[in-house]
Amino acid sequence: MAELVISNLKRSAEESLRGLAEKHGRSVADEAREILESSLARFAPADNLYDAIRSDVAPIGGVEFMPLLRHRDSEPPFSDIDDEPNDGE
């Protein structure tokens, strides 16, 4: 595991980090590690479009879609259109 030293951190950032660490019951190093890892995870490429969209909407609580209902006996849309091109005849 690598070790990282951050120099010249603004006082306000250090105080915020300490406050978050205390709030979450972690050490400052553990809190910084969690923030860094979770921030970098957002930039990791997704394996597929579903995972990419899911990772974008997860922070706001996700999204639920109604299932698309299909009937077995119904015709597909535009079933009256010929598949064969009309050669002007």
* Containing structural domain, residue 30: 11-60
Residue 24 lies in a domain: yes
Would the pLDDT of 64 be above 80? no
In this structure, the number of other CB atoms found within 10 A of the CB of residue 21 comes to 18
Say whether pTM exceeds 0.85: no
Q: How far is CA 17 from the centre of its chain?
A: 24
> Percentage of the chain surpassing pLDDT 70?
78
Is the pLDDT reported for residue 27 higher than 90?
A: yes
In this predicted structure, the answer to whether residue 40 has a pLDDT above a threshold of 60 is yes
Instruction: Decide if 21 is inside a domain.
Output: yes
| Count of structural domains within the chain | 1
The residue ranking higher by pLDDT, 27 or 72, is 27
Residue type, 76: P
Please write the tens of the pLDDT for every residue from 75-84: 666 666 666 6
